[in-house]
Structure 1
């Protein structure tokens, strides 16, 4: 067990958005490190725990799962109370849906972050790790993208995350609230939904004769989910990083078309890829290139990714194959 993992032994930790893709992996890793984990999922009438359902039986038994809404400040305060570290991942993240329901992104992403930051300020929480996204940078104006790169609101989603990031920054600057902001570039792996292009390609390749995608030219810096989780663990444990914004990415980029070719080769599939116009972003909203400068993460967190793209894709393919019923490859998932 690493020093970072040992840090969490016996500590009280909250993960908001624990039913999501990265959040479920993070909650499971924290249980493995010996933390007392409260996993917050979005309230609904179903008893389903989202992606936490795919955590190990032992992990699920060892965590407290609470249902609520990050937009409810009273509820947020109640779950932040008594926690040593808060990982804030609850958010609306689908870019296409942000074109349809932009106000909901402001309420969840901006107001939700405000609620977490205010609860942490009032309760004296020792560390908050706030989740940003590489989408706040927009199309790269310089490469690689460091944390001082200009922020560009190229979609309602990215604009809401810029707002959330600035709330987090303001609480550190105004009140000394010990918040660290992480900016993961494109994370992929098991449990990811078909709103992302990698599960979309895999699920369609398994079930359809033709694979329908949007733009193939945009370039993305893809990080395997286990590596992203290790960055979160470090950000919650390492001293002296309060107030910092830190990229998590590989520093390597490739086009969606190139990733598609790798996936189909690994699947031994020769299925044709066609462009579906309804999957295209508005021209000025499309982020054409993302590639991270991860030197700050190496310096401050002693973090760098260790999983190759091919190994990560193999694990993702295996998950989608085993859980194909989770996906609806015949529709466009916004």
Structure 2
């Protein structure tokens, strides 16, 4: 199978590419990535010698580039997105451009070139916030940030291309990912790397906000199941099964690096900060056999160890992005 992976130099995309190529010597993957601030080509270093791997630096909003790389592909796995909520609050334009227009350009090209399957990777944030229970795939969309609104728009576009053009689209919606190679603006790697360096960490509000945590390798397992077994036009929630509030998460990270609560700086809450995310992922479990393999305890310990051992990876990224 020939697969185009957009955003394949990013955190989740590179995990998917490494996982797929390392497990299948016959796989053929073309990565399309613009290499913006969070795209790190070094994330793909372990697979550059794989005979089925190729890399194209380009923008998913560029119809010419997209048309060239789409020709001859059997499937698309679409990760490329602007994804940091705080950045979307500061300026929504790049999020609308990349997440909505870029997805539309990809869908047009996939339809034009007769691609067999288009997996659109989305987020639980499109559902908004939920105080009790968990979202099923039929839940109405109610995004609260410019980021999640742009992702909701791209979801609707992808599903519209299935209904209008018959494009074989599958949408996945994941909970909060964590693991190695995550750009250190997100909470877990930001806190780990700040604490390693003896700095403080910023905790929004009172830390009551709850997220379901999903190890990146389990997310990629779910995407692979959706690629090969998902039903066209369907949505699949991919959860981790571990809901933790930010106060408890901060405590776990402090303990992991041997730091105390005096290293925590309480900051004003984020605008429009969703209180709780919770996915019902029984559909992908029952229909496609999905089951997370990495416990949060083991995954978090391994993630902390990875950042401790890979300062040369994250230190220049933080310096360039002026983080911490």
TM-score (norm 1): 0.89
Partner of 2:270: 281
1:53 counterpart = 2:42: yes
Partner of 2:278: 291
For 1:109 and 1:305, the matched residues in 2 are separated by 27
For 1:67 and 1:141, the matched residues in 2 are separated by 42
Residues 38 and 66 of structure 1 are in contact (CA less than 8 Å); yes or no, is this contact kept in structure 2?
yes
For 1:299 and 1:51, the matched residues in 2 are separated by 35
Correspondent of 2:110 among 92, 111, 120? 120
* Cα deviations by residue, 1:148-200 (Å, 9 ceiling, x for unpaired): 22211211111100100000010011111001000011010001112211111
Residues 187 and 222 of structure 1 are in contact (CA less than 8 Å); yes or no, is this contact kept in structure 2?
yes
Partner of 1:171: 161
Number of matched pairs? 316
Residues 204 and 266 of structure 2 are in contact (CA less than 8 Å); yes or no, is this contact kept in structure 1?
yes
Residues 14 and 83 of structure 1 are in contact (CA less than 8 Å); yes or no, is this contact kept in structure 2?
yes
For 1:100 and 1:169, the matched residues in 2 are separated by 29
Partner of 2:3: 13
Residues 52 and 60 of structure 1 are in contact (CA less than 8 Å); yes or no, is this contact kept in structure 2?
no
Unaligned runs of 5+ in 1: 1-10
Unaligned runs of 5+ in 2: none
Quote the RMSD (CA, aligned, Å): 2.2
1:317 counterpart = 2:304: yes
Correspondent of 1:304 among 275, 291, 301? 291
1:82 counterpart = 2:69: no
- Name which of structure 1's ranges 195-204 and 221-230 shifts more when overlaid on structure 2: 195-204
Correspondent of 1:136 among 121, 126, 131? 126
For 2:38 and 2:193, the matched residues in 1 are separated by 22
Correspondent of 1:220 among 208, 211, 221? 211
State the secondary structure of the residue aligned to 2:49.
helix
- Name which of structure 1's ranges 180-189 and 260-269 shifts more when overlaid on structure 2: 260-269
TM-score (norm 2): 0.91
Residues 211 and 245 of structure 2 are in contact (CA less than 8 Å); yes or no, is this contact kept in structure 1?
yes
* Cα deviations by residue, 1:130-162 (Å, 9 ceiling, x for unpaired): 011111111115411111222112111111001
State the secondary structure of the residue aligned to 2:48.
helix
Cα 1:125–1:256 shift into 2, 3 Å: same
Partner of 1:41: 33
* Cα deviations by residue, 1:204-238 (Å, 9 ceiling, x for unpaired): 11112533232311100000011001111111111
- Name which of structure 1's ranges 257-266 and 226-235 shifts more when overlaid on structure 2: 257-266
1:67-106 matches, within 5 Å, as 67-106=57-96
1:263 shift after superposition: 2.0
